[in-house]
A and B are shown apart, each in its own frame.
Chain A
Amino acid sequence: MTAAQAVTRRLAELVLVFLGVMFIIYVMVFTLPGDPIMALGGDRPLPENVVAELRSRYHLDEPVWKQYLYYLQGLAQGDLGTNFSGQPVADRLAARWPVTIALALTAWGIELVIGVGLGLYAGLRRGRVGDRVVLAGTILAASVPVFVVAVSAQLVFGVQLGWFPVAGTTQGWPTAYLLPAACIAVFGLASIARLMRGSVIDTMSSDFVRTLWAKGLTRRQVVGVHVTRNSAIPVLTYLAIDLGYLLGGTVIIEGIFNLPGVGQLLFQAIRAHEGPTVVGVSTALIIVFLVANLVVDLLHTALDPRIRHE
Chain B
Amino acid sequence: MSEATASVEDATAEHTGPPPGRGVWQTLRRRPLFWACVVVLTLLGLVAAVPSWFAGWFGQPDPRVCDLSSSAQAPSAEHVFGTDLQGCDVWANVIFGTRNSLSVGLLSTAVALAVALVVGTLAGYRGGWADRLISRLTDVFLGFPFLLGAVVVLTSVGSRSPVSVSMVLALFSWPTMARLVRSSVRSVRGAEYVDAARAMGLSTARIVRRYVLPNAIGPVLAVATISVGSVIVAESTLTFLGLGLRAPSISWGLQLSSAQSYFQTAPHMLVFPSIFLTVTVLAMITLGDILRDTLDPRGR
Contact = CB atoms under 8 A, between A and B. Distances in A.
Given A16-B139, A24-B140, A148-B278, A251 B241 contact: yes
Given A20-B139, A147-B237, A148-B256, A29 B155 contact: yes
B136 A145 contact: no
B151 A251 contact: yes
A155 B264 contact: yes
A87 to B, nearest CB: 18
A270 interface: yes
Given A16-B136, A20-B136, A270-B155, A147 B260 contact: yes
Contacts of A24: 140-141, 144
A140 B263 CA distance: 22
Contact of A139 (B144, B149, B256, B282): B282
A54 interface: no
A278 B151 contact: yes
Interface residues of B, number: 39
Contact of B241 (A148, A267, A290): A267
B274 interface: yes
Interface in B246-300: 256, 260, 263-264, 267, 270, 274, 277-278, 281-282, 285-286, 289
A70 B233 CA distance: 37
B156 interface: yes
A282 B152 contact: yes
Contacts of B256: 147-148
Contacts of A200: none
Contacts of B285: 139, 142-143
A116 interface: no
A119 B61 CA distance: 47
A155 B263 contact: yes
Interface stretch (A58-66, A229-237, A242-250): A242-250
Nearest to A21: B143
B257 to A, nearest CB: 9
A118 interface: no
Interface in B122-170: 136-137, 139-141, 143-149, 151-153, 155-156
Nearest to B252: A145
B63 interface: no
A140 B140 CA distance: 31
Interface in A236-269: 243-245, 247-249, 251-252, 255-256, 266-267
Is chain A's binding surface mostly helix, strand, loop or mixed? helix
Nearest to A288: B145
Nearest to A194: B289
A104 interface: no
A185 interface: no
A270 B289 contact: no
Most chain B CB within a 10 A radius of its CB, from A13, A142, A245: A142
Contacts of A270: 151, 155, 241-243
B230 to A, nearest CB: 9
Contacts of A244: 144-146, 148
Contacts of A245: 145-147
B277 to A, nearest CB: 7
A148 B281 CA distance: 13
A151 B236 CA distance: 14
B263 A151 contact: yes
A1 to B, nearest CB: 18
Interface string A2-42: 00000000000100111011001100110010000000000
Interface in B190-248: 229, 233, 236-237, 240-243
Contacts of B140: 16-17, 20-21, 24
A145 B147 contact: no
B240 A147 contact: yes
B135 to A, nearest CB: 10
Nearest to B261: A151
Nearest to A247: B145
A253 to B, nearest CB: 11
A100 to B, nearest CB: 13
A143 B230 CA distance: 8
Most chain A CB within a 10 A radius of its CB, from B148, B149, B153: B148
A279 B233 CA distance: 22
A124 interface: no
B143 A28 contact: no
A13 B148 contact: no
A140 B156 contact: no
Given A147-B240, A271-B242, A278 B155 contact: yes
24 contacts: A13-B139, A20-B137, A21-B144, A24-B140, A25-B152, A29-B155, A139-B286, A140-B282, A144-B274, A145-B237, A145-B278, A147-B236, A151-B263, A155-B263, A244-B148, A245-B147, A247-B145, A247-B148, A251-B148, A251-B151, A252-B237, A271-B242, A278-B155, A289-B145
Interface of B: 136-137, 139-141, 143-149, 151-153, 155-156, 229, 233, 236-237, 240-243, 256, 260, 263-264, 267, 270, 274, 277-278, 281-282, 285-286, 289
Closest 9 CB pairs of A and B: A244-B145, A248-B147, A20-B140, A143-B281, A143-B282, A21-B143, A17-B143, A278-B155, A148-B274
Given A145-B236, A248-B148, A278-B155, 5 more contacts: A17-B143, A139-B282, A147-B256, A148-B270, A152-B274
